[in-house]
């Protein structure tokens, strides 16, 4: 706040304030701050990436895509480019563009294999691709990458029917009548869906 009071034309101050507002779940204010940062510096990749991510969180993933793509074009060798590809992949995943989402999330994983959330989103996207139509993978039931060994197992609670989630609570009635389980095995680079029961 103090920095903005001293210099209202500081793009970095608006960027930081936008990220702060986003983490406080004050998304409209975050969007305004990030737009102000971009108006002051049209070549600031993090501001474009953060605006795209904020729009995605506001339920507008399609509007977020061009901003994140611009961030990548402005600085394709950014050390944090994995987060750019990850955000772009999640936008496509939310829009149902599975092939694009998987490609982008794989790029994010290649850029930085240490980011746990990239593996999580990629597992979810791959789960939607390999799970037969009508089988819903419940994110609450996903226990992903337990432990730090090369092999980690997690259970993804698949719901059709009765609607029991992995934590025992009830899912929406539209979930179906019976529940099924799938086991996900993660080995460094590969995510495999096993034992659909």
pLDDT digits (tens, 9 = 90+) for 93-124: 999 999 999 999 999 999 999 999 999 999 88
List the Cα angle 52/58/60 in 5-degree steps: 65
Tell me the H-state helices in the chain: 2-6, 11-23, 27-40, 45-57, 61-74, 81-94, 98-111, 116-130
Task: Round to whole Å and give the CA distance between 41 and 34.
Answer: 10
Rg (CA), the chain: 19
Quote the pTM value. 0.65
> Would you place residue 1 in the very low, low, confident or very high pLDDT band (cuts 50, 70, 90)?
low
* pLDDT tens-digit readout, 17-44: 999 999 999 999 999 999 999 999 999 9
| Angle, alpha carbons 119-21-16 (nearest 5°) | 85
Q: Is the pLDDT of residue 146 over 70?
A: no
What are the domain boundaries of the chain?
134-197
DSSP state of 161: B
The reported pLDDT for the residue numbered 9 is 85
Tokens of 37: 């940062």
DSSP summary character for residue 169: P
CA 185/CA 141 separation, integer angstroms: 15
* C-alpha 138, offset from chain centre: 16
Dist. CA 154–CA 135, nearest whole Å? 17
């Amino acid at each position: 706040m103090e920095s903005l009071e001293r210099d209202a034309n500081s793009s970095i101050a608006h960027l930081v304030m936008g990220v702060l507002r986003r983490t406080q779940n004050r998304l409209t204010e975050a969007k305004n701050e990030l737009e102000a940062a971009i108006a002051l510096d049209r070549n600031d990749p993090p501001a474009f990436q953060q605006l795209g991510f904020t729009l995605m969180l506001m339920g507008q993933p399609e509007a977020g895509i061009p901003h994140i793509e611009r961030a990548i074009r402005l600085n394709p060798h950014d050390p944090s480019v994995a987060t750019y590809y990850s955000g772009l992949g999640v936008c496509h995943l939310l829009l149902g563009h599975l092939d694009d989402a998987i490609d982008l999330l794989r790029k994010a994983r290649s850029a930085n294999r240490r980011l746990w959330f990239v593996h999580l989103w990629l597992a979810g996207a791959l789960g939607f691709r390999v799970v037969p139509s009508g089988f819903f993978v419940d994110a609450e039931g996903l226990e992903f990458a337990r432990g730090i060994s090369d092999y980690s197992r997690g259970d993804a609670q698949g719901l059709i029917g009765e609607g029991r989630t992995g934590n025992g609570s009830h899912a929406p009635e539209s979930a179906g009548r019976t529940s099924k389980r799938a086991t996900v095995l993660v080995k460094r680079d590969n995510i495999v869906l096993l034992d659909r029961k």
